[in-house]
Amino acid sequence: MTNGCILQAILLLCFFTTTALAVNYELLRYQQRRSNLASQRLLWMLNRNLQYCLEDRMDFEVPEEIKQPQQFQKEETVWVMHEMLQQIFDILTRNSSSTGWNETIAENLYMELYQQMCHLETALKKIKGEKDFTWGSMTTVLNLKKYYLRIALYLEDKLYSKCAWTVVHMEILRNFSFLNRLTGYLHN
Ligand SMILES: *[C@@H]1O[C@H](CO)[C@@H](O)[C@H](O)[C@H]1NC(C)=O
Ligand SMILES: *[C@@H]1O[C@H](CO)[C@@H](O)[C@H](O)[C@H]1NC(C)=O
Ligand SMILES: *[C@@H]1O[C@H](CO)[C@@H](O)[C@H](O)[C@H]1NC(C)=O
């Protein structure tokens, strides 16, 4: 696959969006909402004839902290969103040839996700530079990592079967509903 080239091109994009100004949460919310919708649409296009795969269903045990997102500060929200997108990106590109997905659509999705991460990363860099900010949600991010690790191990365990990908695909699609909700909490 040509992922390497695409990522290099996008990394440049990421570089150019960095500015010295404070985080504009309104702009970030706008960008994220647009990207969430685009990613969701691309995810739907990837797997149209969903089988049910009942036997492969799995509870990946969502971290408790994630169930109360309204308690996050907006800075933590940015961090959680970035972590989720990063992990989703890693899972989807893990053994991408085994998905059987349309490569053009998959590459558009990777690009969309990467751009989304870029915007969040720029914001995160600024947040980390603010001197009186403390990270209260370290545990949340660690538990999120474990949650996505369970998904990755599940895929490995199921030898990247079609049904396993379907289950993971559905889980990630629903994760985007949660990302949409988080996006709504970004305000200046
Ligand atoms: C990728 O998936 C295929 C199944 O489609 C599997 O045989 C192969 O071992 C996987 N590769 C890795 C590196 O896990
Ligand atoms: C992949 O999707 C694109 C865009 O929807 C379409 O033009 C193309 O024919 C598809 N390729 C395959 C192999 O289905
Ligand atoms: C991912 O999707 C599941 C299924 O709806 C949801 O319960 C879970 O909260 C989502 N996980 C995250 C981290 O958003």
pLDDT by residue (tens digit) across 8-57? 555 555 655 555 678 889 999 999 999 999 999 999 998 766 667 878 88
Whole-angstrom CA distances from 170 to 82, 123, 138, 140, 180 are: 20, 29, 27, 22, 16
Sketch out the chain's domains with CATH numbers: 24-183 (1.20.1250.10)
For residue 59, give the ligand nearest its CA.
Answer: 3
User: What pLDDT is attached to residue 48?
Assistant: 66
Cα gap 28→188, rounded to integer Å = 10
User: What pLDDT is attached to residue 98?
Assistant: 87
Atom 2, ligand 3: residue with shortest CA distance: 175
Q: How confident is the model at residue 1 (pLDDT cuts 50, 70, 90)?
A: very low
From 162, 165, 139, select the one nearest 152 (Cα to Cα): 165
Which of 17-21, 61-65, 130-134, 167-171 has the highest mean predicted lDDT (pLDDT)? 167-171
DSSP 68: -
Q: How many angstroms is it from 16 CA to the middle of ligand 1?
A: 36
Q: Cβ(165)–Cβ(155) under 8 Å?
A: yes
Pocket of ligand 1, beta carbon within 6 A = 95, 98, 159-160
Q: How many angstroms is it from 152 CA to the middle of ligand 3?
A: 15
Q: How many angstroms is it from 131 CA to the middle of ligand 3?
A: 32
Q: How confident is the model at residue 138 (pLDDT cuts 50, 70, 90)?
A: confident
Q: Who contacts 64 (Cβ-Cβ below 8 Å, separation ≥6)?
A: 143
Q: Average model confidence (pLDDT) for the chain?
A: 85
Provide mean pLDDT across the span 70-92: 91
